[in-house]
Amino acid sequence: MGLSSLLSARRPPYCEREGRTGEGDAVDAVVIETLEPLVAELRAGGYAVVGPVVRERVIRFEEIASADRLARGWTDVQEPGRYRLTEGAGEMIFSFAASPDSAKAYTQPPRQTLFRMRGEQIEEAEEDAPRVALLGLRACDLAAIAVQDRVFLGGRHPDPAYLRRRRALLLIAVNCAVPGGTCFCVSMHTGPRATTGFDLALTELAAPHRFVVETGSERGERIAAALPHRPASAEDLAASAEVSRNAAEHMGRHVETEGIQERLSAHDSPRWAQVGARCLTCTNCTMVCPTCFCSTVEDATSFTDGTAERIERWDSCFTLDFSEVNGTPVRGSNAGRYRQWLTHKFSTWIDQFGMSGCVGCGRCITWCPVGIDVTEELANLP
Amino acid sequence: MPRLAVWKFASCDGCQLTFLDCEDELLSVAARVEIAYFLEASSVLGPGPYDLSLVEGSITTPEDLERIRHVRRVSKRLVTIGACATAGGIQALRDFADVKEFAAVVYARPDYIATLDRSTPIAAHVPVDFELRGCPPDKHQLLEVISAFLAGRRPVVPAHSVCVECKARGNACVMVAHGTPCLGPVTQAGCGALCPTFNRGCYGCFGPMESPNHASLNHWMRGLGMSTPELVRIYRTYHATAEPFRRAAEDAQEFEEGEE
């Protein structure tokens, strides 16, 4: 399929988040008792189901063959530079906050071949986009996908490979019940309840254990209809709304977004040097960020088959190569690179794309190896 | 056909073995370059000059000092491979002690031993065209350097941290998730984040990354329970005398003295 036919597609997938979802959408909500039929239905429909499992004491998103594999009974403790899993959530499956994994690995793989050259011949790498159902995304993850959609599809030069991958994704959200210690989605107006951008949204309820299912697309409706279900009662819906209300009251962090662009224009603040002294320029924050989209290209020549290839891979504004011009990095200091990242994420992103680059998931805080906290840095600017 | 030579100085031969370990690619390499001088692989001594010399090992004897100048003279391009040739290697630990004492302990007749006080990288003695890091180097990076040399382009060997590769590989940070001390944030990439992939902290085999911040990392690792001797020890391995790691260990020691 060529670029033009992709672009003339009637409804690009990033438009599917229009309309009929969220709390007010009581008529569509149903209740299911377990997730096993959902996993089976998705797999029967040709989707690889990717959901949260426990691996090496961390919640990771992996392909699952059965709902039994999901991380039942686990909860997490997240603080700057520290992540620990503990048992004690009983029968509950989604009692943890953001995992280091977001949808980014599926929308924008860490490494992909753009094209190969064999002699003078160019071979376009038409990558496969296998169908993947992401089960257990949070409202912040959906918001991050919307940000990436804007970046990759919303401009004058939409990325056809991104569109191919994006269309192959089915998004199943779970409404957060237990926000992490580094979460601040309420400040960024992205959560904790998934109101848009999903095919299905689940709210996990206890006593009895069950899930309220909302649909957000025709695809989602078809899947929900195929599951053993009953209509959601007023009680179910109230309990579901209460989960989100409670989550909103337990945010681990807060960011004052009022006047944030003005505050970030303080380029000469001594605060930058202070955080620069702590920053490792290791890139972990940008790697775990679900919206950081920067990449670079590498050219490689092969000995064995005489081909050359161009590879696109994740890059970060914290590397020196990133700002290299004429052999010299423009942003040589740690402070300069940190300032660039924070300023772009919370301020110039708005100028560039009309929305904030931060969705408040807190991953950059938890996964900074030395615990630098963006909310603290923002609060300490003048 | 371009002519290749591989040279050994003070080293364990592991870097040369990395080259020999390129099993799938070795015949293809041999089809593109004449491997003229490579004693680890062949006793044929093809005469110079050579288009590309790969140099393993550090300079530790008076004879080495002479021989590296010869190697430079007969080589159009000289690339050092591995931590010894690039930073002095594990044997540069002698720099922090008296090498004569070591010799007296190890050898029955230490007067037979002609060795220098210091173990120094090749670049301290002759101009070097490219330094490939690692103890040992990564075979893909080694092939990349040879391939780039043949194509006349700059090798793609980024100087950023191990964390970039670690996260691209899909690992969760072992320091954050398990409290395992890790040198990844101050170490140059290239190994593919081998140790963190198997839940170990990075040992720093590829030496300091482009902008290492050891002060911040040391502060955090003390919080994880590391003592001053442990901090000194993790920096004093394969790149003990590479300037940022030398300073990292010294700062850790000074911090201790400052506390007292």
Cβ distance of B147 and A321 shorter than 8 Å: no
Sequence-ordered list of residues with C-beta below 8 angstroms from that of A270, at least 6 positions apart, any chain: none
Residues of chain A contacting B183 with CB distance shorter than 8 Å: none
A243 and A265 within one domain: no
* Alpha carbons B55 and A66: distance in angstroms, whole number: 53
Structure confidence at residue A303 as a pLDDT band (50, 70, 90): confident
Could you tell me if A115 and A330 are in contact, meaning their C-beta atoms sit under 8 angstroms apart?
A: no
Q: Are B22 and B139 in contact (CB under 8 A)?
A: yes
Pairing assessment for the beta strands B75-81 and B130-132 based on DSSP bridges: parallel
* A367 to B173: CB separation less than 8 angstroms, yes or no: yes
Radius of gyration of chain A measured on its C-alpha atoms: 22
pLDDT at B151: 86
| Last-in-domain residue among A223, A248, A273 | A248
Name the residue among B146, B147, B216 with its Cβ closest to that of A370: B216
Say if A254 falls within a structural domain.
no
Rounded to a whole number of angstroms, the distance from the CA of A185 to the nearest CA of chain B is 22
Do the beta carbons of residue A68 and residue A93 sit within 8 Å?
no
Residue A253 falls inside a structural domain: no
Return the pLDDT at A9: 34
Instruction: Please tell me the distance from the alpha carbon of residue A200 to that of residue A32, in angstroms, as a whole number.
Output: 12
Distance CA B206, CA B111 (A): 35
Same domain, yes or no, for A177 and A230? Answer: yes
CB pairs < 8 Å spanning A and B: 125
In a domain, A255, yes or no: no
CA distance A319 to A283: 7
Instruction: Report yes or no: B215 and A277 within 8 Å, Cβ to Cβ.
Output: yes
Which of A58, A298, A367 comes nearest B156 by C-beta?
Answer: A298
User: What residues does B14 pair with on adjacent strands?
Assistant: none
Cβ neighbours, 10 Å, residue B109: 7
Tell me, what's the pLDDT at B257?
73
Residue A313's beta-bridge partner residues? Answer: A111, A296
Question: Which residues on chain A are in Cβ contact (under 8 Å) with B215?
Answer: 277
CB-nearest partner of B151 from A83, A301, A319: A301
Closest residue in B to A299 (Cα) is B156
B201 CB neighbours in chain A (<8 A) are: none
Q: Do A303 and B173 touch (CB under 8 A)?
A: no
pLDDT at A1 over 70: no
Asked if residue A84 lies in contact with residue A77, where contact means CB atoms within 8 angstroms, the answer is yes
Residues in A touching B161 (Cβ below 8 Å): 280-283
Pick from B167, B178, B220: CB nearest A287:
B167
Whether residues A269 and A164 fall in one domain: no
pLDDT band at A58, cuts 50/70/90?
A: very high
- Write down which residue in A222, A248, A274 finishes a domain: A248
Interchain proximity A277–B211, CB inside 8 Å: no
Per-residue pLDDT of chain B (260 residues; tens, 9 = 90+): 999 999 999 999 999 999 999 988 999 999 999 999 999 999 989 898 999 999 999 999 999 999 999 999 999 999 999 999 999 999 999 999 999 999 999 999 999 999 999 999 999 999 999 999 999 999 999 999 999 998 888 899 999 999 999 999 999 999 999 999 999 999 999 999 999 999 999 999 999 999 999 999 999 999 999 999 999 999 999 999 999 999 999 999 998 776 64
- The angle, 0 to 180 degrees and rounded to 10, between the axes of the packed helices B228-235 and B214-223 is 140
What topology is assigned to B3-151 in CATH? Rossmann fold (3.40.50)
Considering the domain architecture, whether residues A208 and A354 belong to the same structural domain is answered as: no
**CATH 3.40.50.700 domain locations along chain B:** 3-151
Residues A230 and A103 in one domain: yes
Measured in degrees and rounded to the nearest 5, phi and psi for residue B246 equal -60, -45
Domain match, A72 and A216 both: yes
Residues A79 and A139 in one domain: yes
**Closest CB from A84, A278, A282 relative to B161:** A282
Separation CA A337–CA A331 (nearest Å): 6
Contact between chains at A110 and B160 (C-beta distance less than 8 A): no
Q: Tell me the C-alpha distance between B149 and B4, whole Å.
A: 11
Phi, psi for residue A136 in degrees, rounded to 5:
105, 15
Tell me phi and psi for residue B213, to 5 degrees.
-115, 80
Same domain? A206 vs A268: no
| Residue A153 near residue A162 (C-beta atoms within 8 A) | yes
Q: Is the pLDDT of residue A4 over 70?
A: no
Residues A239 and A374 in one domain: no
Nearest to B220 among A60, A83, A369 (CB): A369
Give the pLDDT confidence of A6-56 residue by residue, as tens digits. Answer: 333 333 333 333 334 444 443 479 999 999 999 999 999 999 999 999 999
The domain of A25 spans 3-10+18-248
Least confident range from A87-91, A187-191, A363-367, B228-232: namely A87-91
Residues A22 and A169 in one domain: yes
Q: Residue B259: its pLDDT value, please?
A: 61
- pLDDT reported for residue A18: 39
Q: State the nearest Cα–Cα gap between B29 and chain A, in angstroms.
A: 6
pLDDT score at A119: 85
Identify whether A168 is part of a domain: yes
Task: Give the tens place of pLDDT for each residue, A207-253.
Answer: 999 999 999 999 999 999 999 999 999 999 999 999 999 999 999 99
B190 contacts in A (CB within 8 Å)?
Answer: none
The pTM assigned to this predicted structure is 0.93
Give the bridge partners for A200, in sequence order.
Answer: A172, A215
**Chain B nearest CA to A304, separation (Å):** 5
Is A164 found in the same domain as A271?
Answer: no
- Domain match, A98 and A241 both: yes
In angstroms, the CA A74 to CA A89 distance is: 5
* Mutate which: B32, B156, B164, vs A, most A CBs within 10 A: B164
Position A232, amino acid: A
Judged by CB atoms closer than 8 Å, whether chains meet at A284 and B167 is answered as: yes
Closest Cα in chain A, distance from residue B150 (Å): 10
- Which of A248, A273, A304 is at the close of a domain? A248
Let me know: does A81 contact A366? Beta carbons within 8 Å: yes
CA distance B141 to B87: 17
Place of tokens 């998730």: B177
Number of domains in chain A: 2
